[in-house]
Structure 1
Amino acid sequence: MKKNYLVIVLFAANVAAQQSPGGVSSNLQVWMKADAGLTTSGNNITAWKDQSANAFSPAVVGGPPQAGSFINFNPVVKITGSDVTGGYFRIPTNAPNFSNMNVTAGSAQTEVFATVFSTRTANQYSAIVTKNSGGFWDGITLANYNISGTTTNYRTGYAVSDWLSDGGSTSAQQTIDQTPSKMFLLHGGNTQSGSTNTNRLRVNGNTATTNNSAFFNPNSYDFSIGNNSAGNTQYGFEGLIGDVIYYNRNLTPAETQKVNSYLAIKYGITLAANNQSYTSSNGTDFWTGATGPTATYNNNIFGIARDDAGSIDQRQSQSQNTGIQPIMTNGSGSPVTTNTAASALSNDISSSIIGSDTGSTAYTTPITGPSGIVVNNRTQRIWLVQEKTGTVGNVTISFPISNTNQKVYLVRSSNLDTTFDTTDTWIELTNPTVINGLTYVSATIDFADNDLFTFATFKSSPGGVATGISLWNRADAGISPTTGSITTWTDQALEHVATQQGSNATPSVIAGSKTNLNFNPGVNFTVNTQRIGNISVQTVNSLDYDIFNVTKNGISGVAFFGIARNNTTKDGTNYDSPHFEASGTIAMRDTNGNLDYYSGLPGGAYSASIPTIGYTQVKDTSLSFGRNGAITNQLATYGAKGNITGGYYFGRNADSPLSGDDGGFTGVIGENIVYSRTLTPVERQKVDSYLAIKYGMTLATSAAPMNYLNSASTTNTDNVVWTGVGNTTFYNRVFGIGRDDAGGLDQRISIAADPAAIITLSTDTDFTSQNAPTTTHPAIASDKQFTMMGDNNLSVTAYSTPITIGGKTMNRLPRIWRAQDTGDMGCVNIRMATNVSGNIIPNPGTGSLYAILADDPNFTTNVSLKKITYSATNIDFAINFNANSNNNYFTLAVLPASAVPAPVTGKIVGISTVNDSWQPTTNNTYLELRSQKLGFVISRVTTANRLAMIQQPGLVVYDIEQSKFFVSNGSVWRELGIDNTKSSFCN
């Protein structure tokens, strides 16, 4: 029994010894990891147990620090609040095993690893890991100092010495720009040899910076995480902490790489290119860096791996670099919210690690899919898979989408083949899942070593104009969340992500409605301090560029959109290249900050009654502007402005971190588009057409009407969906519904953006719900189907125009509507409001009210009438307009009561064939009614029975399922009374 018991104890001890960061256990004195040892009350951390053999139990001081945050799906500790109020952790000198941390004076060696993200904005020191005197910071110090007033730039240092002043003279320091990532791996170390003490600091495994300074013995001081050892209130750390690891010896380069690999895989960190191999605890590579293919695909590295001795159990992973990043999950299914919720890898020392090139994640590279797969572009970015150790099997790859109707395909090419074509593996991503506020779709695949993959989709662009687009912000796509205050606004061109800037609140989403952007949502700035933007990207990459912006009527204040000349200058000269103001003023500066133009627009401020489509043409030496499709007016000429390299913002640019001098605005933005080139006139007309149909706008004027084009147009006269040229009479309140997949248009409900508009079109009888991004309106059946409409701008307040139809004199409204069908859309639903102020349609009184429809505005050709019931609010009906024609006219008319004859009573009504030339036996008739006592009976059948009948010309039946009469021409049924060759009422 004793022998068996001894075996068990030794086995357990061996397992415990195997668990260490990267398998490096010798002289491991402190190992704090946020995924183990935490005790919480709610999210308040009450204890955090050390995982080294010393098993320290640090005291929780102040705060307390918080649980509940995650980086790469692993828990991290969050410290918030200024200074000590956020809390920190302390191992006191009287703790059991404390002396194990001591170093030997004269030959002292230390290594400290910490994964952190700093959020302190005060220009003050933040102690991350310390074992120092507190008051004078003598001893071990890993700390940073905010140098930007934002969460962007920190000067970070490590020293085992006296931290003098800012630490610059005694510590090894690096400046960290936190913009590219959500987590950083800090590695400080020192080596003392007699009187020489060398301090070192690495960030994400890069080349160490060094500083020789006098050694100061840390042995007699507390070990603290999140403050200095004395706990001075002004030096508290704020931000996220994942792991903290302390060795009191120097690690070999191979050992250092193992620890770095453990931390990088766990937290989705891309190691520096000069030191990029991800190594397992047994020394084999999970990912061999900077050689062969990894020299190209050495960006955005992440992956799943299992290494029992190295304490790696990463089951789901995503690069923590900013921007759009895929997620990899072990096994088949969907992404999960935490690492432990995914299934564990089956085999020890197994991995699947992914890196990418530097291409954009925007769908900008043309590609052709296999038969049945409709795509036109793939992401510019390509990812490499390395499975160098063990067997992983199926993994799930997930990628974000901007709307749930988007079809995305994972395209896998084997053996480093960079040509993606129809011979590769194509898998549709499905099963939308929301992770951290973004919607991802997923595909399951079993990768092989050196596979490449990318993502393909059918990518739309405004009006089908894709070349040179560099920014496309839509209020109906890319916004998260879709209700309430916005946290991210992803542009649909290059997928730049706009976020909160500083402490200024962000705008919110306002739903689309009849009075808000033609049933499309908008981004609503309710106070002039709100803003959202991205001041880390380059908005334009050309000296010449075009800008479209759509704003709702009624905006007020100052700046609503602007482009920065660069991303480093933080003052009032930086955000005007150009910027646009609600008053109509445009400001334009050159690359040096000199003001080239600052003045209002021709025609004055933006309209108070209808939205505005603004078009600005920026050239290196001139600035021009046109609104709502009208020709551009040159506003200014100036000397060459130079290259503009800055980001962009919506709203206020004053206040940190932008620190400009322009106030914000109040109002609603619908859309904003930037092209890094000058569009041709036809291209501009296509973009204007897309925006005009979407927002119910009439382009130009009735005196100079324009054709509305679809995405296939190559001139201003082909693929016209609304003929404006030569149509001055009916070029008022132009609007419509339509679908143009390549052009980014899916307008299912519409009303003209005009206070006098009274007609709403819809794909169903719901005339109030918004159009996008979530809609209950049925989809338009086919690509490039449109129903467009305009009117003659005459009165609707009296039935004052006589008209004769079928020998009866009626009185119609002077206003006539003209409709143009493209693609044979079929029945469209129409609501005519009768109660619009200044345009109230009167009650017909004792007369009978009819909607009348014809192929001409005089109502003489192919006339149809539908008797309707007057309502003091709305009149609803549906029309199937002539297919692919603009010969469709309708209005309302009243038949006076005096023109309606009395009903016929007491007489036999029938058909007589008294003329000998009309006989049942001749070939000029097929219907005979002969009955003295019995009525004429129509067969009543189901739809299935009707379709199965042997048809004869003139056969009439009643379909009891559809409640309609049908007549056959011998081969095809049509509804009785409906002529499929001309426009007609549907209901």
Structure 2
Amino acid sequence: MKKHSPSLGCCFLALLGGALPLKAQTLTVQEGLQLWLKADAGVTADGDGVVADWNDQTANANHAAQFDPTFGPKLEANAVNNKPVIRFDGVDDYLEIPDSDSLSITEDLTTFFVVRFADFATYRAVWAKTQNNFPAPVDYYTLPDSGIPRVFRGNGVDGPGNNGFVDALQAMRANTFITTGFEISGTELTHYLAAQPIGGGNITANIADADTSVIIGSRADLFTKMKGDIAEILIYNRALNETERGSVTGYLGEKYNIQNIPPTVTLAAGPAGPVLAAGTTVTLTATPADPDGTVARVQFLANGAPVATATAAPYSVKVTLDSTGSYSFTARVTDDKDGTTTSTAQVRTVSGGGDAVLDVLDNLSLWVKADAGVTVSTGDLVATWADQSPNHNDAAPFDETTAPALVTADGPNGKPVLRFDGVDDQLTVQDADSVSFDGDVTSFFVARMDDFSTHRAVWAKTTSNLPASVDYYLLPGSGVPRFFRGAGTGTDLRSIDGAPLQAGVFELVGFSSVGDTMSQYLNGQLNGSSSAAVGKVDMDNPLIIGSREDGFTRMKGDIAEILIYKAGLSPENIGKVQLYLARKYAVPLTSTLNNAPTAALTAPANGAILTVPADVALTATAEDADGSVAKVEFLVNGTVAATDITAPYQGSVNFPLPGSPQITVRVTDNLGAVTVTAPATLTLNSQAASDLPDLANLKLWLKADTAVTQAAGVVSAWDDQSGNLNHAVQGVDTQRPLLVAN
């Protein structure tokens, strides 16, 4: 099969602290270097470019090889900055390095690599040393769809304590050359995009080497697959210091011309304070700049949690400080090459705020709080945690050895908490109709996680490790919250992730599932939402607080209060519940103020009658009273036909066939608020009979003699002729078909 070389529009990213220096392409940091593979040296390939050997450039002779050419990747010349790469097809290409003492690294480790991921359709690998699908001691891959990197460490054996992972907080970008990698120092793992940390955490698993091979482009079970290019890989048996990391990433960035100066940002907040009354609205204004590119977005954060993101100027947002507490505001700017910088914090202290009264009581299934209904036994170990709703869904431990402790002196705002040890502490609520969630559910809680060294739980109803119908936990390393709904099977389930929580901080967290929409909340802000059908079957298992039925997830930290409603709550009632908890526990609570933009379709006119084929001009007006218009999209029957980011907002669309299409305008402002106009309906008549008998029900019409976008016969797009804009595209060069004439 013919393979097409990709046309790459840009490359990045070696993050530099100042002007771009002219460096020699020399790797000066070689102490502890155990493996050095580079596509411009030591590669043996056949006449078709299929790689048989890729020789290690260190003295360790950790050479990579593939003895079966059907599994060999290809050497591609002049792929990045006139340098070659090793291209993996994402199907069965890989290289193998036999086990050696120099690559049996069970302690500190640093690795960087220059790669291009073609896509994230499945798990994408770079290198790994595993026993089957378990790290022994290292597994690295990117997650499907998101492109988030994950590093596993372990001893090659399944089971608690035998492996752990940490995800990055930033996704990789497809079809772009990047310098990325990770470092392990003690139990601390840090992901890097060039020299910039992009997330990390602790892995306390048992680490051992299973004397297996290092696999380049996959792992031992060949499940993960590299699809794309690898230009260079470096592996050290030690943690590098900041200067050394900068030198290594600078070498790679200079060699492959993937450099970037980080953006800058300052933040102003008014009024000045520093002490403000609850209910005060604060205006946050960021001033970002990027010396060698453009500003992609500015994220505003309160105590580390996102409150708004601006994708266009003005980079400003208004937030109301709803509750007593200390607020630390920062702005994080991201440039067009994913370089980021965070501003100096603006701190405000808020007093007042009113009494904490819960008046949302309808459909309240479970209400447990550490300042009421707790009975203790020996050493303040919890014997029962009585439900404060009328349902009597009391929680109790299996015995004293699994009981959390009541702590009265260390909670938020002077309130008591239940402290879970992260080993075996949990409480059980026996199944009842009031806690059987076959439909909508809403829950809020105030909790503090000590760490994210493993999966951290709050409460769940599961059958083994499957939601039946609710599971909630925090991911290791990152603290990203994951909310699952399901029917107790491995197929009928769905999850949604949110922005990460912080360790060691009491936060107000929640989730809801209403119809097909799942949402998460963090300190008063929506923390992710998505809609899709999912099964919701309760298997009548107990509700577990601090873990789930299989005991795999574990709460380590404190829980002050949990509220669970067997219903979806209105936005007004969600606000009331959060305000009650925030006032009671002095958790800083913010409300973002942003008026939605307005728009109007000015052409074509609603009811217009046209004869096909017709090229129709699209025009619209759009305004945003408290910000700016970021983009205007023209939709035909719900599909985007044209986009404009500057006034006057206009586009065009071709209608080849008769019909009654509906045209709407969707406008997005600089803070992400969206407005969609009412539809305008056109009548499209034909001036001649069509060869097709049933145009009214025609949904897709592709024909090779019309509207094919190609270069040298390689097809990148094939436009739908039905009028429904169901165009076929292929963004990956190596997967594009050929147009054959006659």
Larger RCO (CA under 8 A, 6+ residues apart): 2
TM over 0.5: no
Q: TM-score range by the shorter chain?
A: 0.3 to 0.5
Larger C-alpha radius of gyration, 1 or 2?
1
Normalising by structure 2, report the TM-score.
0.37
TM-score normalised according to structure 1 size: 0.28
